[in-house]
Structure 1
């Protein structure tokens, strides 16, 4: 499988480290149910997901990769700091 790095182009998946689901951090710094859910609970959805990947063997960029887990297709990628929308 190849991932489309916005800085380097399409690269082999072995250059990247999968860092889990790309989730928005809860507002506020106080501990509560939102933070507990953010830190400890994960869904395992079938279909389109957004995942955080690190390009450690390339540019060192953090990417949000949009992937379809049913079809095993990569739909796109953006730099993690660019916000929503691929």
Structure 2
């Protein structure tokens, strides 16, 4: 699989480190413990379009967000992690 780095272009997956789900929202500091437990320990297993954080560790070292189909591995978008992208990803299904 090749990931598109906004600065370096398409690169092999081995140059990147996975950084997790890019759609998670951190709870407020004073949020109930249940919200923190859910945030830290529980993750969905999406099927379809999904946004993920990746770091180009063997290249420019920048963090990026990649929109990828988890079934086909088709990459539909990539942008710097510090840029806010307003458009929501395509609806994903959760695998049981």
**Change in 2 beyond 3 A, CA 1:5/1:85:** farther
Q: Deviations over 1:40-79 (max 9, x none)?
A: 1100011001111111100011111100011121111111
The TM-score, its normalising length taken from structure 1, stands at 0.88
Partners of 1:85 and 1:54 lie apart in 2 by 21
Report the counterpart of residue 5 of structure 1 in structure 2: 5
Report the counterpart of residue 53 of structure 2 in structure 1: 52
Partners of 1:85 and 1:13 lie apart in 2 by 26
Consecutive unaligned residues in structure 2, runs of 5 or more: 88-96
The TM-score, its normalising length taken from structure 2, stands at 0.79
Consecutive unaligned residues in structure 1, runs of 5 or more: none
Report the counterpart of residue 17 of structure 1 in structure 2: 17
Partners of 1:29 and 1:42 lie apart in 2 by 20
Report the counterpart of residue 72 of structure 1 in structure 2: 73
Q: Secondary structure at the match of 1:72?
A: coil
Corresponding residue pairs, total: 85
